[in-house]
Amino acid sequence: MGSCERFWSKNTLISLGLGQFLSLLITSTGFSSSELARKGINAPTSQSFSNYVLLAIIYGGILIYRRTKLKAKWYYYLMLALVDVEANFLVVKAYQYTSLTSVMLLDCWTIPCVIFLTWFFLKTKYRLKKFAGVAVCVAGLVVVIFSDVHASDRAGGSSPVKGDLLVIAGSMLYAITNVSEEFLVKNADRVELMGMLGLFGAIVSACQINHLFPRLHFLHSFLRSILERQELSSIHWSAGAVLPFVGFAAAMFLFYSSVPILLKISGATMLNLSLLTSDMWAVLIRIFAYHEKVDWMYFVAFVAVAVGLIIYSWGAKEEDGLKTLVGQNGSEQSKERDVEEACESGQSVGSCSKAVADGKPGSSSSTTKI
C-alpha cells in the first residue's frame, strides 16, 4: 500500500497527464499538416514561423518586463533554434511524400537517440525498470506497425521512401533539441528558453522563407528546395487553407509552452515515450471523426504503451526516492565527520558534548576519547 502511494505522487500524475496532453497536441499538428498536404500546400517552415512569433511575443515580452540578464549564452539559443527549425521543417515536409501513419510511426526513432544523448551528455543513469518501460512502449509500436503494414494509409504518399528518410532525420534533430531543452530548463529558466527560442526561431524561419542568402551559389540548389516564398505566393488562401494553419500554430504554441514543464519533472525520455500514444489518439480521431474502421491490435498497442509509461514512471519514482535517501544519509555522515574533525582540533569536552546532543559540528560522537 505504501509503495502504491509513493508511486501515485503528485509529480507522477502530473507527468502522465501532461504527457498525454502533449500527445494530443502533437496529434493535432499532424492532422493539420496532413490536411494542408492534401490541399497541395507545401510550406513547412511558414507553418512553424507563426509558432515562433507567438513564443517571441509572449515570452519575450515577459523577459523584457523582468529586465534580468540571460542565464545562458545567447548563441546556445541560436544553435538550438536552428536545429529546431530544421527538425520541424523535415518532419512537416515528410507529409508531402508519405502518409500520416508512417510519419507518426517512424518518429519513435527519437527515443533511442534521446536515451543515448542524455546518457552521454547529461550523465542520466537508467535503471532496469526504465529500460523495461521503454521496451514495453516500443513493443506497442511494433504491434501497430504489424497491424498497419497492409493498410491503404501506409501506402499513401507520392514518395514514401523519401518521406520516411525525412522523418528519421527530423527525429534525430528532435532528440538533440529535447535534450538541449532539458539541460537549459534545469540550468537556466523556462521563460527565457521559450522567449529566446521563439526570437531566434522566428529569425531563422524568416530567413529561410524569404531567401535572404542569394549569393551562396554553392548552396543554391539546396536553398531552393527549402525556401518557400514562391510556395506562399501560389497558395489560394481560403477558409480551408487558413484554418489548418491557425490550428497548427495554436497547437504548436501550447506544445512548446508545456514541453519544458514535463522536461523539468521527468526528462526528455519520458516526453518522447508519452508522445508514442499520439499514434493511438490519431486512431481514435479517425474512428470518431471520420468513422473509419481500424484493427483491434491498435487497442492492444495503446494498452501496451500505457503500461510501459507506468513502468517507466514507477522506475523513475523509485530512483528519485533512492537519491533522496542517499542524500540524507550523506548529509548525516558529513555532519558526523564535521563533529569528529572539530573535536580532534582541540575543542572542549563540554562543547563537543553539546554539539553531539544538538546534532551540529563541533564535537566527536564519543566524548570519552578526549
Contacts of 283 (CB under 8 A, 6+ apart): 294, 298, 302
For range 218-230, the mean pLDDT: 45
Cα-Cα-Cα-Cα torsion 135, 259, 264, 190, nearest 10 degrees, comes to 160
Say yes or no to pLDDT of 221 above 90.
no
Q: Which three cell numbers stand for residue 83?
A: 536545429
Say yes or no to pLDDT of 37 above 70.
yes
Residue ranges per domain, the chain?
A: 12-213+244-326
Say yes or no to pLDDT of 19 above 80.
yes
pLDDT at 145: 63
pLDDT at 157: 60
> How does DSSP classify residue 293?
-
Spatial separation of the C-alpha atoms in residues 259 and 45, rounded to whole Å: 20
Q: How many CA atoms within 13 Å lie on the side-chain side of 77?
A: 24
pLDDT at 260: 94
Length of the chain: 370
> How does DSSP classify residue 126?
P
- What are 66-96's pLDDT values in tens digits? 998 999 999 999 999 999 999 988 887 887 7
Contact 297, 146 (CB under 8 A): yes
For range 275-285, the mean pLDDT: 79
> How does DSSP classify residue 108?
G
Across the chain, mean pLDDT equals: 75
Spatial separation of the C-alpha atoms in residues 133 and 309, rounded to whole Å: 6
Contact 174, 107 (CB under 8 A): yes
pLDDT band at 356; cut points 50, 70, 90: very low
For range 151-173, the mean pLDDT: 75
Spatial separation of the C-alpha atoms in residues 236 and 40, rounded to whole Å: 10
For range 324-348, the mean pLDDT: 48
pLDDT at 343: 53
Say yes or no to pLDDT of 244 above 60.
yes
Q: Which burial class, exposed, middle or buried, applies to 208 when counting CB atoms under 10 A from its CB (0-12, 13-18, 19+)?
A: buried
For range 160-184, the mean pLDDT: 90
- What are 97-124's pLDDT values in tens digits? 877 667 767 777 888 889 889 989 888 8
- What are 133-150's pLDDT values in tens digits? 888 888 877 776 666 555
Cα-Cα-Cα-Cα torsion 326, 327, 331, 334, nearest 10 degrees, comes to 60
For range 158-172, the mean pLDDT: 84
Spatial separation of the C-alpha atoms in residues 159 and 50, rounded to whole Å: 28
Greater model confidence, 345 or 27: 27
For range 341-352, the mean pLDDT: 49
Among 98, 108, 105, which Cα is nearest to 153's? Answer: 98
Say yes or no to pLDDT of 225 above 50.
no
For range 178-196, the mean pLDDT: 93
Amino acid letter for position 237:
W
- What are 292-321's pLDDT values in tens digits? 776 777 777 778 887 888 888 775 444 444
pLDDT at 177: 95
pLDDT at 151: 53
Say yes or no to pLDDT of 159 above 60.
yes
Spatial separation of the C-alpha atoms in residues 122 and 100, rounded to whole Å: 33
